[in-house]
Amino acid sequence: MLVAAIFLGIDYFKTRGAFPPHTFIGKVDVSLLTRDEAIIKIKQANIELLLPTVVFQDDKEVFTFAPQELGIAVIPEETVDYAFSLTHKENYINGLKTRLSKEALIVPAKFSLDEKLAREVINELAQKINSPPKDAGIVLSEETGGYHITSDHPGKLLKVDETLRAAIEALRSGSNVAPLAIDYYSKPRVTEGELRAAPPVYRLSAFTTYYGNHDSPNRIHNIKLIASWIENTLLLSGEVFSLVEKIGDFTAERGFKEAYVILQGELVPQLGGGTCQIGTTLFNSVSLADLEILSRRNHSFYFNIYPLGRDATVYPGQVDFKFRNDTGHSILIKAVATNKKLSFRIYGTPTGKKVEFSSPSIFLLGGDGVFHPATLRQILASDRPFRTAVARTVKDAQGNIIKEETIRSYYKLYGEKTNVPIRRPEPR
């Protein structure tokens, strides 16, 4: 009993003014040190022993920094006082039991933060994190039918002030992990889930037009340029495609060259010439896929590189070709332009529909001011206006007619002779 009493007495007086055995601040052993001794040791310790790293994170992003990068420094007196309060808050007997268990007690240190330096670091983080929403996409091999769907990502914006406050609070609480205050502010237009539910990989239609012998390199260049912008366009159910919006402004800076366009009854070289072949080819592909046509107008002159009665003119600020994806699922537009031809193919979810065009009915304007049925030979022999009517029939998978309509076009003349006025030559 006497030995036990002596031990308890020595232990009591030894531990009342000092840290108990097996006590660590971070990785710094302060066992049996007094407050003053512990403060000196903490001041002399390498900060990595107290705070190896600082981590900024959320569910999707993790960034790690050395404490020096954020201007973090230990506060020795506050750290030691906090650790001492934790190790001496129990009564003596309970504290003795804890010490005899030989389990180490690890206490976090207290730190200060250089807010100016830390803000600079967080601003650099913002440059890495901030990003607009990214749509899911699809890569389709038309040769094999294989495809790959890429992931979508929401738009991200790092809130610098909130992240800085979170870092300060984390350090005050003894944690080296601070939450990133990221605002996922905008969902992407096209999501991976939508594409996987109904991948647009089944060909609904295809249509090709060929260039004429008169076509210049400039015109073919413009066609290739626009086709490259349309290639791989995804259109969700209910969305409207505007060719004018897709094209944008006709400027040399965007790569356009001068080629013939029809302007006020004449062929005039202008930036973007050749766009109408884009409109005509796409119009026929869209019609064959039975998508809803919202806006289409034929050329004032008819050229036989296009199907008679089924052409579509386009010019920004004047005439647009528009259609709506009314299939109930997403569609994918593929485009190929070579030195000889232009093709559009539309992929989506199979509908079983079949679309047919009739041969055009032709009507020539007579001297009596009335349109009379005519033949193509009569049209070619005259320089008078004419109109056409093409029947479009849509059948379901069983061959039942589900839709019928007439595509009507009006032309001032058949422009395959020397009858077309040319304001000035096209650059070659």
Arithmetic mean of pLDDT, 246-250? 91
Helices 92-100 and 2-16: crossing angle in degrees, nearest 10, is 100
CA dihedral (266, 268, 271, 277) positive or negative: positive
What are residue 242's phi and psi, to 5 degrees?
Answer: -115, 120
In this prediction, residue 259 carries a pLDDT of 85
Q: From CA 86, how far away is CA 74, in angstroms rounded?
A: 18
The answer to whether residue 41 scores a pLDDT higher than 70 is: yes
In this prediction, residue 167 carries a pLDDT of 94
The answer to whether residue 16 scores a pLDDT higher than 70 is: no
Give the angle subtended at the CA of 266 by the CAs of 274 and 299, to the nearest 5°: 55
Q: From CA 270, how far away is CA 64, in angstroms rounded?
A: 56
The answer to whether residue 285 scores a pLDDT higher than 60 is: yes
The answer to whether residue 11 scores a pLDDT higher than 60 is: no
Kindly state the tokens that stand for 417. 């002779």
Kindly state the tokens that stand for 407. 């595509």
What confidence category does residue 15 fall into, taking pLDDT thresholds of 50, 70 and 90? low
Query: In terms of Cα–Cα distance, which of 208, 143, 176 is closest to 74?
Result: 176
Arithmetic mean of pLDDT, 12-38? 86
Arithmetic mean of pLDDT, 236-261? 92
Q: Tokens 């959320």 sit at which residue?
A: 58
How far CA 267 is from CA of 101, 113, 255, 327, 370, in Å, comes to: 98, 71, 21, 38, 28
Strand partners for 365 = 371
State the alpha helices, DSSP H only, in 88-159: 92-100, 115-129
Residues 293 and 283: beta-carbon distance below 8 Å: yes
What confidence category does residue 427 fall into, taking pLDDT thresholds of 50, 70 and 90? confident
Instruction: Report which of residues 416 and 274 the model is more confident about.
Output: 274
The answer to whether residue 3 scores a pLDDT higher than 50 is: no
Residues 19 and 32: beta-carbon distance below 8 Å: yes
Q: From CA 86, how far away is CA 83, in angstroms rounded?
A: 5
Kindly state the tokens that stand for 157. 């914006």
What confidence category does residue 160 fall into, taking pLDDT thresholds of 50, 70 and 90? very high
The answer to whether residue 7 scores a pLDDT higher than 50 is: no
Residues 303 and 212: beta-carbon distance below 8 Å: yes
In this prediction, residue 9 carries a pLDDT of 45
The answer to whether residue 161 scores a pLDDT higher than 90 is: yes
The per-residue pLDDT of the chain, averaged, comes to: 89
Kindly state the tokens that stand for 182. 């990221």
Kindly state the tokens that stand for 363. 């009507």
Element (H, E) at 81: helix 76-87
Question: How long a stretch of residues is the chain?
Answer: 428
CA dihedral (159, 164, 170, 175) positive or negative: positive
In this prediction, residue 4 carries a pLDDT of 47
How far CA 95 is from CA of 20, 24, 102, 131, in Å, comes to: 9, 16, 11, 53
Q: Tokens 């064959």 sit at which residue?
A: 288
Query: In terms of Cα–Cα distance, which of 211, 215, 221, 217 is closest to 255?
Result: 221
pLDDT tens for each residue of 213-227: 778 899 999 999 999
The answer to whether residue 278 scores a pLDDT higher than 60 is: yes
Helices 35-44 and 76-87: crossing angle in degrees, nearest 10, is 130
